[in-house]
């Protein structure tokens, strides 16, 4: 008779070892913090804004920003229809109205906040779009834009989607926003090496200090 080796695995066949390991209970990974999303970045930047502020989101597709206050949205895809391109391909559009980002169906100075995530790069005339967004914001209204980061992304972001018509570095988009009449402009990483945010406001009375305080806090945390 063969003496046991002292290591149970040496005295079993490969099949028996495999069966023993498969019968062991799974090891639970310790719960970590949830991954940061661009929606979380937007809400963090706006956490100093009153929940009574009216938000307009341009181009939410099937993934609207979960704003805690009054909210409207527009998209170039009609409400309830399925998107055809990029990350929205096959996704049902949740927007309330169909409209182009450069021609919004609203009167001047209607909204306290305008949010556009991965939208601006789909129009070739960036300045016209920014002028239109400036028009519908109230004096003191806040603009939050998230775009692919041409500066930090490893390749040219124009090729990420066949409907991309523009690409931006942070400084380029800040300069365009300033030319469209926005002020107090801040830019920073949204998802590192993927996207960046621009935070700005239309001149006028507002609790801008609270918004910029959250901007600097976010910059420190990220």
Domains and CATH numbers, the chain: 38-221 (3.40.50.150)
Return the structure tokens found at 40.
Answer: 């979380």
Q: Which of 71, 177, 94, 92 is nearest to 130 (CA)?
A: 177
- How far apart are the C-alpha atoms of 134 and 182, rounded to whole Å? 7
- How far apart are the C-alpha atoms of 134 and 114, rounded to whole Å? 9
**Residue 113 confidence (pLDDT):** 97
**Residue 8 confidence (pLDDT):** 45
Helix (H, G, I), strand (E, B) or coil at 196: strand
**Residue 143 confidence (pLDDT):** 97
**Residue 220 confidence (pLDDT):** 46
CB half-sphere exposure, 108, CA atoms < 13 A = 4
**Residue 36 confidence (pLDDT):** 85
- How far apart are the C-alpha atoms of 205 and 130, rounded to whole Å? 20
**Residue 222 confidence (pLDDT):** 44
The β-bridge partners of 200 are 143
- How far apart are the C-alpha atoms of 175 and 113, rounded to whole Å? 20
Would you write out the chain's pLDDT as a tens digit for each of its 222 residues?
Answer: 445 444 544 555 666 655 665 666 665 655 655 678 999 999 999 998 999 999 999 999 999 999 999 999 999 999 998 877 667 778 899 999 999 999 999 999 999 999 999 999 999 999 999 999 999 999 999 999 999 998 888 788 888 888 889 999 999 999 999 999 999 999 999 998 899 999 999 999 865 555 555 555 555 444
Q: Judge contact between 148 and 157, C-beta under 8 A.
A: yes
pTM of the shown model: 0.79
Q: Judge contact between 172 and 154, C-beta under 8 A.
A: no
**Residue 24 confidence (pLDDT):** 61
Q: At what angle do helices 126-136 and 170-179 cross, to 10 degrees?
A: 60
**Residue 184 confidence (pLDDT):** 92
Q: How far is the CA of 160 from the CAs of 108, 154, 201, in angstroms?
A: 34, 11, 29
- How far apart are the C-alpha atoms of 130 and 115, rounded to whole Å? 12
Q: At what angle do helices 208-221 and 38-45 cross, to 10 degrees?
A: 140
Q: Judge contact between 62 and 93, C-beta under 8 A.
A: yes
């Amino acid at each position: 008779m063969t003496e046991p080796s002292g290591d149970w695995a040496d005295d079993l066949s490969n099949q028996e070892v495999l069966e023993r390991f498969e019968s062991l209970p799974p090891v639970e990974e310790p719960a970590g913090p949830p991954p940061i999303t661009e929606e979380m970045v937007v809400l963090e930047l706006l956490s100093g804004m009153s929940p009574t502020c009216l938000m307009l989101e341009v181009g939410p597709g099937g993934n609207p920003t979960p704003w805690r206050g009054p909210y409207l949205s527009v998209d170039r895809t009609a409400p309830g229809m399925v998107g055809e391109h990029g990350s929205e391909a096959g996704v049902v559009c949740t927007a309330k109205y169909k409209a182009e980002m450069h021609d919004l169906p609203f009167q001047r100075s209607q909204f306290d906040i305008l949010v556009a995530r991965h939208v601006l790069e789909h129009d070739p005339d960036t300045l016209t779009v920014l002028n239109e967004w400036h028009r519908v914001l109230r004096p003191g209204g806040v603009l939050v834009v998230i775009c692919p980061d041409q500066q930090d992304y490893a390749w040219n972001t124009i090729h990420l989607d066949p409907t991309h018509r523009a690409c931006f570095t942070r400084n380029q988009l800040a300069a365009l926003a300033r030319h469209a009449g926005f002020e107090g402009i801040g830019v920073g990483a949204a998802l590192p090496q993927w996207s960046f945010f621009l935070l700005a406001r239309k001149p006028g009375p507002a609790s801008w200090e609270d918004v910029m305080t959250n901007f600097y806090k976010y910059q420190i945390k990220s």
